[in-house]
Amino acid sequence: MDYRLDEIDRRIIHALMSNARNTSAPTIAEEVHVSPGTIRNRIAQLEEQGVITGYHASIDFERAEGHLTNLFMCNAPVSERESVARQAQIIPGVTNVRELMTGRRNLHVLAVGKDTEDLRRIARSLSDLGVEIEDEVLVQTETTCAYSPYGPTDETKNAILTDFISLSGDAEVAEVTVDRDAPAAGMSIQEAARCDALTDDTLVIAIERDDTVLTPHGDTEIRPDDIVTLFSRGGVTEETIANFNSSQESDS
């Protein structure tokens, strides 16, 4: 059975995901405007209902002792997946096991070893369980963050990427303010795509309008003075940016 969360529950979960170690009941209570006792009771209920399943430290094992973190992507028989996952958890060095609802690579095992030989030992132990290791890769870094829809409403705005950020490969995110006489002004996102104001691989991932951040859909209208955040795997082109600037500027 799903456990229905209210706003207080969501804010508690967001705060604990942000930093469970340094977030106290009084701190959360002050932000949510309830008593610390209410926060403690809600946390107990969330734990009892299995919504909060634990509190885990995030460890950089390479920095701690120069150890290696490896992700094994495995195939396990669907009928045995849950049993195999439980057995994999007790292999020395395994720190996380994720079961996936898919046919192949349906078991991801994260493990830490002192060296490559130690990782081979873990691989042999996984194979002994009857799983096929289809691929494996050394993990460089892993970052977790709180689920933003459960946080304060203004946090969404703060999470939006600003200015211009180059991502891995050729992918880029750009933020552009829509001019009043821009070619794209007044168009829906669907219309902008049909008119090639947006290239095939360019997505509108956010629109900031009157201090509100909108989640864009195909029928969302692009209006003058909107701050539009664009994402493109191949890079945001000057031509795309020009469609959001004034026609006079783009012609010059």
Q: What is the pLDDT of residue 126?
A: 96
On whether residue 128 sits in a domain, the answer given is yes
Residue 178: DSSP 8-state: P
pTM over 0.75: no
Q: Kindly state whether residues 27 and 65 are assigned to the same domain.
A: no
pLDDT of 44 over the 90 cut: yes
Q: Encode pLDDT of 50-64 as tens digits.
A: 999 999 888 889 888
Mean pLDDT on 1-13: 89
On whether residue 122 sits in a domain, the answer given is yes
> 107 has which bridge partners?
74, 99
Q: Kindly state whether residues 173 and 107 are assigned to the same domain.
A: no
232 pLDDT tier (thresholds 50, 70, 90)? confident
CA dihedral (23, 24, 26, 31) in degrees, to 10, reads 20
Query: Tokens 């821009």 sit at which residue?
Result: 182
- 3 state SS of 159: helix
Range of the domain at 112: 61-138
Q: Encode pLDDT of 128-176 as tens digits.
A: 999 999 999 999 888 788 888 888 765 444 444 444 455 556 678 888 9
Mean pLDDT on 83-111: 93
Residue 132: DSSP 8-state: E
On whether residue 113 sits in a domain, the answer given is yes
Q: Kindly state whether residues 128 and 200 are assigned to the same domain.
A: no
Rounded Cα gap, residues 218 and 216, in angstroms: 7
Q: Kindly state whether residues 36 and 69 are assigned to the same domain.
A: no
3-state secondary structure 187-205: CEHHHHHHCCCCCCCEEEE
Contacts with 189 (C-beta within 8 Å, 6 or more apart), sequence order: 198, 204, 216, 217, 218, 219, 220, 222
Share of the chain above pLDDT 90, in %: 54
Number of domains observed in the structure of the chain? 3
